[in-house]
Structure 1
Amino acid sequence: MTLNRSISTAALRLAFSLCGLVAASVWAAPPILVLNSLNADVSVIDPQTYTETKRIPVGKEPHHLYLTPDNKSVMVANAEGDSITFLDPKTAAVQRTMTGILDPYHLRFSPDMKWFVTAANRLDHVDIYRWERVGEEFKLHLVKRIPAGKTPSHIAIDSKSKVAYITLQDSNQLTAIELATQKRLWTISVGKIPADLYLTPDDKTLLIGLTGEDAVEAYDMSSGKAVLKTRIPTGKGAHAFRSQGDKRHVFVSNRSANTISRIDWTTLKVVDTYKTPAGPDCMEMLADGKTLLVTARWAGRLAVIDIEKKAVVKQIPVGKSPHGVWTLNHASRD
């Protein structure tokens, strides 16, 4: 009888332990993904402990990443590897690799999910693909390869899925391409080394980070062509954008100044500045509305900023030249 009771007690303990493990697995927060562009891998960060749990090998020079329209995969664009690696956004497990995508430096889906656009940073062209669902997966069909100026960099697409705007980094230009016809609508000159873009949710204002200067240019888009409204002083090396998710503020990383500026895009004024480790680049805003993640390219770290305290509260060592950062637990992109 005593032996049976001991076995029963042990069995109950094991059952409760297994239930706890299952529950922990089900309710675990989704990981934070950091692209280490010079290591050709992805750092997987535990968002609860802010520690790196593993590295995932991908293709050469992963720079940017994007969620698929069905929310089932995160696409890691391996620029020099001419490939895209698909990861599970909830577990970071590798799902598959798509090859033959030439130099996918930056990537964007149109809001209507019909078009997928890549900027070939080293090959000087823009590719427009049509997206097609096939069963549980999707395929990309190249519709047109469009020669661009020197070093196409970042892409923004309007809310109506009609126009893609691309910065041409070493031509100091901005170009607009109509997605349905794949025709270039116009090209204008902008400031030095234009990088990332942020198009406001109403499609009326386009912000461009000038990595070769210390400012962001704001353009009026209401007439169909970009018309310069003002220049917003931020810091040297203005580069990447991330909205706060409150439909009013957007952050820009100033790579050379080692700061992040918070811009009120309704007034086009800087309202806050945050110090960061060396070489701040891509950012992610967590769903809590107060935690900003930023990759520090020159420091080889992921920095965690509490925007209410205006302080870096954590620094996580990652790989060489960390660039893109993303998590499923993020704030709105508006």
Structure 2
Amino acid sequence: MSNFRENFPCLPRLRGGRAPVRQLCSGRPLFVLNSLDADVSVIDPATWREIKRIRTGKEPHHLYMTPDEKSIIVANALADSLTFIDPRTAEIQKEVRGVLDPYHLRFSPDMKWLVTAGNRLNHVDLYRWDGVDLRLAKRLPTGKTPSHLWIDSRSSIAYSTMQDSDELVAIDLAKQEIKWRIKTGPLPADVFGTADDKLVLVGLTGSDSVEVFDVSGPTPKSIKRIRTGAGAHAFRGAGDRKHVYLSNRVANTISKIDLGTLTVVDSYPAPGGPDCMELLAGGRYLLTTSRWSKKLTVIDTEKREVVRQVPVGKSPHGVWTLDHAPRQ
């Protein structure tokens, strides 16, 4: 695995000849987190086959690529640990223990803060990062079941949804304190902020909608609900700073939302309970983990159809690769 490109050269077309993959010709791997297997599937983008499994700690739920793209971090909730993986070689870099109940995680864009959500223990932890080691700066008690995190472009505010108390919480990173909290619709999950930091979108998994909050002033305001589909859950920016994708886990669809008009402008089939997503370089192919069918699903957004499903492990959750479109 030390030379991924040499061992797994790129093919001119997807296996079966259904769609071109010139955008994947770096040969760098795809990573899919299998929550119930406690491991990560490594997929060769030339053949679309799993070629390796990486063991993690107990009950991993999310993975995240650092803003400098040097590491993919797996949050192992029941193991109280983080696993760092090299996104180029698919080798483990290190394991960090003593991180209490990391369910979701997010690095600030300036790489000075790592924030983790303790879903089981009802806290959000703020860690300082010096480029090598983590140091706990503050543990903040929150509402019930902190779920997903987002950090604004200025690395000043962290947002966390509260899954079981139906809230959105804003945390001032410099002051290390909760700035405000506001009620949301049922079962808020993923959270996504617009590039100008003025709006925050929340997927309401307990409904069929995304709730939009104006956070530009001193007091947040709920300004709109966008109907997408049952089980509105996870976001992935479309790479153009104008649109965002939203997975509807129950409806088995993915919605494309216009961030200017706050309306759904397109929809794609996504069987098997779509969850987290990745958008490949070039913006045409959207990847989503299919939680209930143990597969990674590849969607051609131009043809609006599924072009491939790759078998992975049990309850696949996150998916990341270096060969991605911009994340906004």
Aligned position for 1:281: 275
Q: Tell me the CA shift for residue 28 of structure 1.
A: 4.7
Q: Which has the larger radius of gyration?
A: 1
Determine the C-alpha separation between the residues in 2 that align with 1:243 and 1:23. 29
Residue 118 of structure 1: which of 94, 116, 119 is its match?
116
Distance of aligned partners of 1:272 and 1:69 in 2 relative to their CA distance in 1, 3 Å threshold:
closer
| 1:245-284 map, 5 Å | 245-284=239-278
208-217 vs 46-55, which moves further: 46-55
Determine the C-alpha separation between the residues in 1 that align with 2:30 and 2:285. 13
Once the two structures are superposed, residues 126-161 of structure 1 have per-residue CA deviations (whole angstroms, 9 ceiling, x without a partner) of 00011113xxxx100000100111110011111111
Using structure 2 for the length normalisation, give the TM-score.
0.92
Determine the C-alpha separation between the residues in 2 that align with 1:87 and 1:21. 20
What runs of 5+ residues in structure 2 fail to find an aligned partner?
Answer: 11-24
Are 2:104 and 1:109 aligned?
no
Contact 2:65/2:320 (8 A) holds in 1: no
Aligned position for 1:171: 165
| 1:18-97 map, 5 Å | 21=6, 28-97=26-95
Q: Tell me the CA shift for residue 85 of structure 1.
A: 0.7
Q: Tell me the CA shift for residue 280 of structure 1.
A: 0.4
Amino acid at match of 1:51: R
Amino acid at match of 2:179: L
Determine the C-alpha separation between the residues in 2 that align with 1:61 and 1:22. 31
Q: Tell me the CA shift for residue 67 of structure 1.
A: 2.0
Q: Tell me the CA shift for residue 256 of structure 1.
A: 0.6
Determine the C-alpha separation between the residues in 1 that align with 2:152 and 2:237. 15
Amino acid at match of 2:300: D
Aligned position for 1:207: 201
Once the two structures are superposed, residues 197-253 of structure 1 have per-residue CA deviations (whole angstroms, 9 ceiling, x without a partner) of 110000011110000000001111111332111100000000000011011110000
Using structure 1 for the length normalisation, give the TM-score.
0.90
Contact 2:61/2:104 (8 A) holds in 1: yes
Q: Tell me the CA shift for residue 330 of structure 1.
A: 0.5
Amino acid at match of 1:55: R
Aligned position for 1:16: none
Aligned position for 1:328: 322
Q: Tell me the CA shift for residue 71 of structure 1.
A: 2.5
Amino acid at match of 1:262: K
Determine the C-alpha separation between the residues in 1 that align with 2:155 and 2:92. 30
| 1:294-333 map, 5 Å | 294-333=288-327
Give the match's secondary structure for 2:133: strand
Aligned position for 1:186: 180
Q: Tell me the CA shift for residue 70 of structure 1.
A: 3.8
Give the match's secondary structure for 2:155: coil
Amino acid at match of 2:104: H
Q: Tell me the CA shift for residue 285 of structure 1.
A: 0.3
Deviating beyond 4 angstroms after TM superposition, the runs of 4 or more aligned structure 1 residues are 20-25
Amino acid at match of 2:89: T
Determine the C-alpha separation between the residues in 1 that align with 2:91 and 2:219. 42
Residue 144 of structure 1: which of 138, 154, 167 is its match?
138
Root mean square deviation, CA, Å = 1.5
Determine the C-alpha separation between the residues in 1 that align with 2:242 and 2:229. 20
Seq. identity, %: 61
Contact 2:166/2:184 (8 A) holds in 1: yes
Are 2:159 and 1:161 aligned?
no
Determine the C-alpha separation between the residues in 1 that align with 2:138 and 2:7. 47
Are 2:224 and 1:226 aligned?
no
Q: How many residues align?
A: 310
Give the match's secondary structure for 2:95: strand
Amino acid at match of 1:170: D
Determine the C-alpha separation between the residues in 1 that align with 2:65 and 2:219. 29
Distance of aligned partners of 1:182 and 1:21 in 2 relative to their CA distance in 1, 3 Å threshold:
closer
What runs of 5+ residues in structure 1 fail to find an aligned partner?
Answer: 1-19
Determine the C-alpha separation between the residues in 2 that align with 1:171 and 1:187. 11
Aligned position for 1:13: none
Contact 2:39/2:53 (8 A) holds in 1: yes
Determine the C-alpha separation between the residues in 1 that align with 2:216 and 2:153. 13
Distance of aligned partners of 1:21 and 1:149 in 2 relative to their CA distance in 1, 3 Å threshold:
closer
Determine the C-alpha separation between the residues in 1 that align with 2:79 and 2:305. 36
